[in-house]
């Protein structure tokens, strides 16, 4: 029994993020029982910038979809608990969560290494016309190791850029304000780079049957994560994280024979 507890700890040290993605994807698809989503939309562009989902084939296979979708992780990748968000930069509730709740969650759980925070793009393109290119802008910031700073900047200024039909210059301005190479950022944004990744993330959310943002889930490395309801307050998230941490401790204790 002790070996099982040690195996759980070793699994956290090796390939944790990949296995988390694998089990969460296949586990959720299996439990929800959602069929393949035939989401194929021709890419729309502002000049040469991809602003809508692109046509990706073969993602009906959950394993292929898992490989194509890419999350951004904050914190220790080997942390025992994962706090996962599917977010949309045009979503007001996502902005409130990102700027007021997430910092508290990070201070309590991510910084001490109790949990990692994982973000997936989920642009609700049918109601938020600039959410896709905003997600691409966030991905372009990854190239300069500024994702989380840019993520917060988009939410801080949400009420401004969401009113613009073409926010590309504004997005490049945010990059410059954050000390990034604006030319390199602009070259990334004025292309179709990361359109495939954002599309795959969107497809993943749809395959899991998600229909709103933010969607918050909390879980262990393996098994079915717990989905938060409509209460995105710090109190609600902390209660769920504490519950999962307690379950993890109980599992480890049982696996080690209570020693």
Count CB-CB contacts under 10 A for residue 138. 24
Quote the pTM value: 0.82
What pLDDT, on a 0 to 100 scale, did the predictor assign at position 101?
Answer: 98
| Tokens at 255, concatenated | 């696996």
| Tokens at 203, concatenated | 């497809």
* Higher per-residue confidence, 244 vs 258: 244
The most confident of the ranges 29-33, 64-68, 134-138, 201-205 is 134-138
**Cα–Cα distance between 225 and 220 in angstroms, integer?**
7
What pLDDT, on a 0 to 100 scale, did the predictor assign at position 259?
Answer: 54
DSSP structure class, residue 109? I
**Cα–Cα distance between 201 and 138 in angstroms, integer?**
13
pLDDT in tens, 12-62: 333 345 445 545 555 554 433 333 333 333 344 555 799 999 988 888 787
DSSP line for 138-185: HHHHHTTT-HHHHHHHHHHTHHHHTT-S--HHHHHHHHHHTT--HHHH
For the chain, how many structural domains are there in total?
A: 1
pLDDT in tens, 106-117: 999 999 999 999
Band of the pLDDT at 4, cuts 50, 70, 90? very low
Domain CATH code at residue 178 = 3.40.30.10
Domain extent for 81: 2-255
Q: Which of 177-181, 205-209, 235-239 has the lowest mean pLDDT?
A: 205-209
In degrees, rounded to 5, the angle at the alpha carbon of residue 152 between the alpha carbons of residues 134 and 42 is: 15
**Cα–Cα distance between 213 and 257 in angstroms, integer?**
41
Q: What are phi and psi of 110, to 5 degrees?
A: -80, -50
**Cα–Cα distance between 235 and 241 in angstroms, integer?**
10
Band of the pLDDT at 252, cuts 50, 70, 90? confident
């Amino acid at each position: 029994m002790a070996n099982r507890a040690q195996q759980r700890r070793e699994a956290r040290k090796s390939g944790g993020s990949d296995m988390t993605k694998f089990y969460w994807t296949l586990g959720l698809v299996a439990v929800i029982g959602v069929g393949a989503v035939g989401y194929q939309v021709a890419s729309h562009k502002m000049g040469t910038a991809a602003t809508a989902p692109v046509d990706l084939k073969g993602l009906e296979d959950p394993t292929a979809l898992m490989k194509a979708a890419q999350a951004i992780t904050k914190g220790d990748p080997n942390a025992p608990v994962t706090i996962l968000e599917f977010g949309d930069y045009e979503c007001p509730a996502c902005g409130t969560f990102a700027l007021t709740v997430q910092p508290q969650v990070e201070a309590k759980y991510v910084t001490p290494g109790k949990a990692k925070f994982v973000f997936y793009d989920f642009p609700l393109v049918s109601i938020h016309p600039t959410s896709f290119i905003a997600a691409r802008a966030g991905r372009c910031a990854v190239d300069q190791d500024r994702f989380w700073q840019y993520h917060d900047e988009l939410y801080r200024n949400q009420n401004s850029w969401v009113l613009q039909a073409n926010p590309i210059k504004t997005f490049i301005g945010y990059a410059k304000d954050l000390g990034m190479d604006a030319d390199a950022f602009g070259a990334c944004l004025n292309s179709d780079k990361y359109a495939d990744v954002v599309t795959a993330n969107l497809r993943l959310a749809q395959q899991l049957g998600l229909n709103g943002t933010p969607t918050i889930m909390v879980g262990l490395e393996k098994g079915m994560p717990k989905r938060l309801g409509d209460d995105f307050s710090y109190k609600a998230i902390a209660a769920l994280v504490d519950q999962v941490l307690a379950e993890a401790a109980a599992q480890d204790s049982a696996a080690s024979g209570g020693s």
